[in-house]
Structure 1
Amino acid sequence: MLAKSLSDLTEVFLNTDDLIISKTDLKGRITYANRTFMRIAGFDEEDLLHQPHNMIRHPDMPKGIFKFLWQELRQGHEFFGFVKNYTADHGFYWVFANITPDFDAAGHVQGYFSVRRRPSSDAIKTIEPIYQKMIDIEHRYSRANACTHSLAFLEQLLESQQVSYERFVMQLQAS
């Protein structure tokens, strides 16, 4: 189980039909946030716009997941995954995220578009211990190498199950 603190006493749950939508520039700064994002995260629009999206990143999230996310996006691929975020009052919420490159008319990536929805509770029960192991691995290495080692752990886990990352998270979400 992931380490819990007093701030983690307040979990916000998305409704089944909630869609959190945001757009960022190429550096991950928020250029658009829908009302659902503001309501769930507890931030006003002026508190979100032009801020780095990682301002809501919860420390229970392994850096290796974000290394993988950025690798996928830089290759022009979309990313699916489970993400734990902070709220403005330091509570938290889980999402199943889909992040895609946002292309301009000439086909150049101009930013990223993200749609997040309520994750399956069974998926979160499965992903939390994996994320905790990744964080434990990250703590054993220097900052420069931590992401690489935790991502290698995830890749070995997926290889042992003979499943791609995308198929793994999609199966979890469908559970």
Structure 2
Amino acid sequence: MNIPQLKMESVRGQLSLSITQPVQEIEQPAAELSIEQWPAELDIERTPGKLTIDQSQARADMDLKSISRRIEEFAQKGYSDWLEGMARLSQQGDELMRIENGGNAIASQAKENGESPMLEFNIAFIPSANSVKTNYEPGKVDLNWKVSHPKIEVKVNKPIHIYTPGIVHGGMKQWPSLTISVTGLELDEKK
């Protein structure tokens, strides 16, 4: 006995794709930068230090005096010696004027006028301590700055963007098909 059978044959469909790839172009122009910087101004005011040294007393202690100082000292010494001489002469005159009061005024005056005075001496440090006088006024420096701020200008350039989208074209390379046939019917029809 023959049983009829169905026979199916199928052909798959095939697509054909045509693809154009997308193109993207990006260009970034550099930014334009302008900087101006003026130099800073510096003003310096300087007062120099001052050192004064007075060694006139030390030089005088070593008998190294200026001529003007020697003249002044000699004038003062002469004046004081003259005053002392006048005082001594006045006193001696008064003593002689009162000779009748007793005493030996002439002999005492002769002894006083004839003898040299006793000289005093001692150890001395030449020059004397602290005879050199120093004075120092420190210097001064004033700095005045004038700062100039920079002038910065920036021009930003936008990017250049070109985009071409991709394209896909689809088509059928092979269409699908399905064929159905019945087998086993032929034998039955012959009987």
**Higher normalized strand content (fraction of residues):** 2
**Higher normalized helix content (fraction of residues):** 1
Which structure has the greater CA radius of gyration? 2
TM-score normalised by length of structure 2:
0.16
TM-score normalised by length of structure 1:
0.17
Higher relative CO (Cα under 8 Å, sequence separation at least 6) belongs to 2
